[in-house]
Amino acid sequence: MDQVVKDVFRAEGTAVNWALLREGRDLTLVDGGYPGDVGAVLASIAAIGHRPEDVRAVLVTHAHVDHVGALNHLHERYGTPALMHPDEVANATGERHESATPADVARRAWRPSVLRWSLAITRAGGTQHPVAVHAEAFEPGTPLDLPGRPVPVHLPGHTSGSAAFVLPAAGVVLTGDALVTGHPLLRGSGPQLLPGFFHHDLDAARTSLARLGAVEAGLVVPGHGAPWRGDLARATERAARLIA
Ligand SMILES: [Zn+2]
């Protein structure tokens, strides 16, 4: 668990990140790890002196299995709502599937790093399709009335309803998988997209990089990889060039 800036914390589970935004006694949890990461999510809340009851909502960058693991636990125990872009709700409720298949991953499993990762995520529930029937849409485009006052930015491509969350006062953007900085399936680190087969619509993901590049934030907290500080416009241009 690191505090990336005041009241913004980032924790890492099974090669995936989530974040906690603090405002007084209240928290917003951004993403929820794999199903096997629920204990680690709860531990990260405790590590900053909070209780799960303090989480006002889970904000979801996108509803892939590595980002929604804690949603049902928090909803069943504490009634915590799960909010996401309107175009993402069907992915969370299981009415739609926009994710890579185990076969996509298996084709690449000859690399030792990929094999290690795929065994780890399988143990963490990575082959499941968790369904969160309580998923709700937030109102896009306006600051959300939640701790941290995150502003959603719709970045379709990785999934139809992928979103980043900008924290204007902190100069931070939480990018989910619309821009990552490291992953066991990537050869290098730094701002880039995940491999193409992970994206529902790679062309849209490329277009969304330009939209993300216009966001004013100097610190990226991605869904995968370490926080990154720098010029976001240049970073997203570089990420778009790496696809081509
Ligand atoms: Zn992910």
CA of residue 48 to ligand 1 center, whole Å: 24
- Which residue ranges make up each domain of the chain? 2-243
Residue 27 in this model has a pLDDT that exceeds 80:
yes
Cα of 127 vs centre of ligand 1, distance in Å, is 13
How many of the other CB atoms lie within 10 Å of CB of 79? 9
The chain-wide mean pLDDT, for the chain, equals: 95
**CATH pick for 2-243 out of 3.40.50.1820, 3.60.15.10, 3.20.20.80, 3.40.50.300:** 3.60.15.10
pLDDT (mean) for 124-137: 94
Q: How far, in Å, is the centroid of ligand 1 from the Cα of 105?
A: 13
CA of 88 to the centre of ligand 1 (A): 14
Percent of the chain with pLDDT over 90: 84
Q: Give the Å distance between the CA of 194 and the centre of ligand 1.
A: 9
Which helix or strand (DSSP H or E) is residue 176 part of?
Answer: strand 172-176
Cβ atoms of 62 and 222 within 8 Å: the answer is no
- Residue 34 CA to ligand 1 center (angstroms) comes to 9
How many angstroms separate the alpha carbon of residue 233 from the centre of ligand 1? 22
- Dump pLDDT digits (tens) for 67-125: 999 999 999 999 999 999 999 999 999 999 998 887 887 787 778 888 899 899 999 99
Cα–Cα dist 40/34, whole Å: 10
How wide is the angle at C-alpha 113 spanned by C-alphas 109 and 117, nearest 5°?
75
Ligand 1 center to 220 CA (angstroms) = 15
* Tokens read off for 27: 């928290």
pLDDT in tens, 181-192: 999 889 899 999
Question: How is the beta sheet containing 163-167 ordered, strand by strand?
Answer: 151-154, 163-167, 172-176, 219-222, 228-229
- Measured in Å, residue 36 CA sits from the centre of ligand 1 at 14
Token readout for 42 is: 């709860």
Cα 50 to ligand 1 centroid, rounded to whole Å: 25
Can you tell me the distance from the alpha carbon of 160 to that of 154, in angstroms, rounded to the nearest whole number?
9
Q: 61 C-alpha vs ligand 1 centroid, how far in Å?
A: 9
pLDDT value at 237 more than 80: yes
* Predicted pLDDT of residue 244: 63
In the chain the first and final C-alpha atoms are separated, in Å, by: 35
Dihedral over Cα of 60, 190, 232, 2: its sign: positive
Q: How far apart are CA 146 and CA 22, in angstroms?
A: 10
DSSP type of residue 158: S
How many whole angstroms separate alpha carbon 103 and alpha carbon 209? 27
pLDDT at 227: 97
Per-residue pLDDT tens for 58-78?
999 999 999 999 999 999 999
Count, residues in the chain: 244
Q: What is the pLDDT of residue 107?
A: 81
Place of tokens 């990537």: 186
